[in-house]
Homo-oligomer: A and B are copies of this chain.
Amino acid sequence: MKDKGTAVIIGAGTGLSASVALRLADAGYDIVLGARDTGKLRDIADRTGARCVPLDGSNPEAVAALYADLPGPLRVAIYNPSARIRGDIADLDPETVRKAIEVTAFGSFLTGREAARLMLQNDGETKGTILFTGASAGVKGFAGSATFAMGKFAQRGLAQSMSRELHPKGIHVAWVNIDGGISNPDREGRGDDGSNAMLDPDAIAESYQHLIEQHRSAWSSEITLRPWVETF
């Protein structure tokens, strides 16, 4: 067991989650990765000693089971999954929309709830940090993107409510608006060409770690990370 406690990352893949996992493992956290498909996590698990748990982050029982069995006290919880469905409002399929809201928002709630329950039992000035990976769709509802807007707005409302409730109890909650595409050398056409027009996952991970390490007298509850050339 490492000395900083456990960091859970839900929605782990080879991009952002891998960068965060590596950085937090280096910083002294035991890493637990939860994802639908844990096959692609082998490399990250090897490099960080992470435990990999296959799960649907919007399934209450599966989420409860993951948080019930951690290698040490939970200090960091990060929720990444989201479902981006596009289409004119009149053409959207209700069941697809319902499921998408559950992945983006209800899953955020499940991780937020379990993390809060565990962290409230911790000691220390800061009992833990809960981060939600958001998007501009949580600030502005774009045309043709009602489903994603509903999910990301809901997630941001959740994060605000949790910040107001949990900050005075010593748990830091933040919603991070990732305003742009994230580069990923493993995915075709997503590698960075040197222009830094997409967010470097290591750069995001650096800001996540900064949030985790902020002194409790100066916490941020919402930040936006955006490439220098992104219009907004």
CB within 8 Å of B: which residues of A?
A: 60, 88-90, 92, 94-95, 97-98, 101-102, 105-106, 109-110, 112-113, 116-117, 120, 125, 137-138, 140-146, 149-168, 170, 172, 183, 192, 196-200, 202-204, 206-207, 210, 214-232
Contacts and interface: CB of A to CB of B under 8 A. Distances in A.
A145 B226 CA distance: 21
Given A101-B106, A218-B226, 19 more contacts: A60-B94, A89-B112, A89-B165, A98-B102, A112-B146, A137-B157, A138-B153, A141-B160, A150-B155, A150-B158, A153-B157, A199-B218, A200-B215, A202-B215, A203-B218, A206-B215, A218-B227, A221-B224, A221-B226
Contacts of A153: 138, 153-154, 156-158
29 contacts: A60-B94, A88-B165, A89-B116, A89-B162, A90-B113, A90-B116, A90-B117, A90-B120, A94-B109, A137-B157, A141-B160, A141-B162, A143-B165, A144-B165, A149-B161, A150-B155, A150-B157, A151-B154, A153-B154, A164-B232, A196-B216, A196-B217, A197-B217, A200-B215, A200-B217, A206-B215, A217-B228, A218-B227, A220-B224
